[in-house]
Copies of this chain bind each other. A is one copy, B any other.
Amino acid sequence: MKVAFIGLGTMGGPMALNVMKAGHDLIIHNRTRHKEELLAAHGAKRAASPGEAALEAEVIITSLSDTPDVEEVVLGNNGIIHGARPGSAVVDMSTISPDATRKMEQVLRAKGIKMIDAPVSGGSEGAQQGTLAIMVGGDPADVERVMPVLQAIGTKITHVGPIGAGQLTKAINQTIISGVYLSIAEGMVLGLKAGLDMDKVVEAIGVGAAGSWVLTYRSKNMIDNNYPLGFRVRLHHKDLGIALETAKKLGVTMLVAALMDQIETGIVARGYGDEDVSAVARSIREQSGID
């Protein structure tokens, strides 16, 4: 297929490369133009704007930082909407507001352009290896049509529901990990202050009801007080803001997510925003006197 890819950052860059490796024709654009060079060297065609990138594409993928970035790239001057052909499909793989997603879809639909939301999880490692989980919202026929491209990017692809359902699912994902990280941090600090061999503790409890991905892969960071990436606090904090905003609109009380949001605000303010999310344990450690 002819695929346009807009946004070649830590996630988008390797995702675009995987699309090209799967045999699709790639047209690329990035606001900071020099980031196009690596993919261009692999044979991708460069476009001067999102609108120009969209001109001949059947599928137009966006992988950007936040809601305003996607709105600008899709609807702004030189945006996708000014170049995309009727019948083409915009696949937004950023993590942004479900509401804003639905509004953009309506505007695009009025011009005959399809839109699908397809946020990912699995981090930069998953992006490089093509093993991302992809949470998809959109019309079934549209989702089916873009599936060959998604399959070049991820291995666990779930069509959850209509437009916005992918973003809502990502918001739920970011909500759920909040309490998991915080409670594991509390448990690790409790054990450290009690003088336990924490590797043995994690081994003892990891297979039962306390078991989780975070306990298996991130408790060691908290024990060592060292937080290599992983997934950046500031990105989870941004995503959690979307989840809390969505919860407020829907009328859902999320006490633990709100607590995580506040703790992350402090972690980011103190300069730890580019550490892994497990760095929220810094807050639990410090308020318990073991930094």
Contacts and interface: CB of A to CB of B under 8 A. Distances in A.
B205 A176 contact: yes
B252 A288 contact: yes
Contact of A243 (B98, B190, B215, B255): B190
Contacts of A204: 133, 135, 156, 158, 160, 169
A168 B198 CA distance: 11
Interface string A155-193: 010111100010011011101111111111011111101
A206 to B, nearest CB: 9
B288 A176 contact: no
Interface string A122-148: 100000000001010000000000000
Contact of A251 (B175, B180, B253, B288): B288
B288 A169 contact: no
B252 A183 contact: no
Oligomer copy total = 2
Contacts of A183: 175-180, 256-257
A196 interface: yes
Chain A interface size, under 10 / 10 to 19 / 20 to 34 / 35 or more: 35 or more
A95 interface: no
A160 B254 CA distance: 35
Nearest to A132: B208
A256 B169 contact: no
B205 A252 contact: no
Specify which of A159, A184, A196, A255 lies most central, judged by the most chain B CB atoms within 10 Å of its CB: A255
Contacts of A213: 208-212
A220 to B, nearest CB: 15
A200 B255 CA distance: 24
B255 A173 contact: no
Interface string A250-291: 111111110100000000000000000000000010011100
A190 B254 contact: yes
A121 interface: yes
Given A169-B196, A183-B176, A205 B121 contact: yes
B156 A207 contact: yes
Given A177-B183, A255-B182, A287-B253, A190 B172 contact: yes
A209 B125 CA distance: 13
Given A175-B187, A178-B183, A190-B175, A251 B200 contact: no
A224 interface: no
B284 A190 contact: no
Contacts of A209: 121, 173, 177, 213-214, 231
Nearest to A258: B186
12 contacts: A121-B210, A133-B208, A158-B200, A172-B190, A175-B186, A176-B183, A176-B210, A177-B183, A180-B180, A186-B257, A190-B252, A253-B284
